[in-house]
């Protein structure tokens, strides 16, 4: 998945003709509770909640990161009109002053995520795709990006879905599709403020429709008042990678190829990378038996000691 970023001039041009762009998918959702927007009750989400041991407790923050994007090579500073009004204003302002870079994209993404968690509380798990904005650079092994480090610092377990697998991001795909249909493609906007106003009404309607589900969700932890991100701090906590093994029973994550089992080829696994203990525990995943997850193999793991930089 990808997020396109656009300058203010590009945004101004787009809002004059919003039907001129194709706008698929969003990028991130959280588990453990249902915050602001409505999230589709996809079967894959129920199954994913079961394999993580949290039951039907998956939700999303689609309104933060499910803003539409253009599939071309536009890369500036603001995601193309995300459907959280505060983020719209923030990115539109920042696009005037900050240079275009990977670090800026990562910083903006993390700022939006932290703003949401300060309002709604911390989830136990946060589900991401494998974009470098969330996971970190792919060209170097054992890389943990800014967003991942922030999650670990706050006690949130990042979960990275299998690359190229259908359904694991269905909740965000569904929410983003509804936003496009009910907001972006339905109205012609006079400016960014008009987009924000329509989006706020849509989010409010989604909240109302999902009120019962939001109330029934597990409680979240309060955001720590004096928390400050230290990107150079020693990595602690757990990162989960959901992966599919190859024809030889190996799974690839963190830039390494780990043996799993010769009898578990082309099948899903859950790899728990415990950075505190320095171990990787790999469990099999079965859609038909989500609660049957015996330990397949354990690997020793040494977290990176190098300084963080983007």
Question: Helices in 20-131 by DSSP H: which ranges?
Answer: 43-51, 62-65, 85-94, 102-120
Domain boundaries, the chain: 5-125+166-216
β 250-253/238-244 pair status: unpaired
- pLDDT tens string, the chain, 310 residues long: the values are 333 334 444 444 444 444 333 333 333 333 333 333 323 233 334 344 444 443 333 333 332 333 332 222 222 223 333 445 555 555 445 544 444 566 788 888 899 899 889 988 999 999 999 999 999 988 899 999 999 999 999 999 999 999 988 888 888 888 889 999 999 999 988 888 899 899 989 988 998 998 998 888 888 999 999 999 999 999 999 999 999 999 999 999 999 999 999 999 999 999 999 999 999 999 999 888 888 899 999 999 998 888 888 6
Taken in order 114, 271, 32, 43, is the CA torsion positive or negative? positive
Measure the CA angle with vertex 295, ends 290 and 296; round to 5°: 105
Q: How far apart are CA 297 and CA 293, in angstroms?
A: 12
- For residue 299, the model assigns a pLDDT of 97
- Which secondary-structure segment (H or E) carries 256? strand 256-259
- For residue 221, the model assigns a pLDDT of 93
- For residue 167, the model assigns a pLDDT of 84
């Amino acid at each position: 998945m990808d997020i396109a970023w656009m300058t203010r001039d590009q945004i101004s041009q787009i809002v004059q003709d919003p039907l001129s762009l194709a706008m698929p998918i969003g990028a991130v959702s959280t588990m453990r509770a249902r915050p602001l927007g409505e999230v589709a009750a996809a079967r894959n989400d129920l199954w994913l909640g079961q394999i993580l041991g949290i039951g039907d407790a998956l939700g999303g923050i689609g309104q933060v990161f499910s803003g539409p994007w253009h599939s071309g090579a536009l890369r500036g500073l603001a995601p193309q009109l995300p459907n959280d009004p505060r983020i719209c204003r923030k990115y539109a302002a920042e696009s005037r002053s900050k240079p275009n870079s990977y670090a800026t994209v990562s910083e903006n993404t993390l700022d939006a995520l932290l703003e949401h968690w300060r309002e709604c509380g911390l989830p136990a798990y946060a589900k991401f795709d494998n974009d470098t904005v969330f996971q970190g650079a792919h060209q170097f092994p054992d890389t943990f990006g800014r967003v991942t480090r922030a999650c670990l610092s706050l006690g949130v377990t990042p979960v990275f879905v299998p690359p190229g697998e259908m359904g694991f991001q269905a909740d965000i795909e569904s929410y983003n599709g509804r936003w496009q249909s009910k907001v972006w493609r339905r109205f012609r906007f006079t400016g960014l403020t008009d987009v924000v106003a329509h989006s706020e009404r849509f989010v409010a309607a989604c909240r109302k429709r999902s009120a019962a589900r939001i109330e029934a969700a597990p409680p979240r932890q309060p955001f720590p008042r004096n928390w400050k991100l230290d990107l150079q701090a020693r990595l602690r906590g757990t990162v989960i990678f959901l992966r599919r093994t190859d024809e030889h029973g190996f799974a690839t994550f963190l830039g390494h190829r780990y043996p799993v089992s010769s009898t578990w080829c082309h099948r899903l696994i859950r790899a728990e990378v415990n950075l505190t203990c320095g171990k990787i525990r790999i469990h099999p995943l079965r859609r038909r038996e989500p609660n049957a997850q015996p330990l397949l193999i354990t690997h020793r793991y040494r977290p990176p000691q190098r300084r963080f930089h983007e």
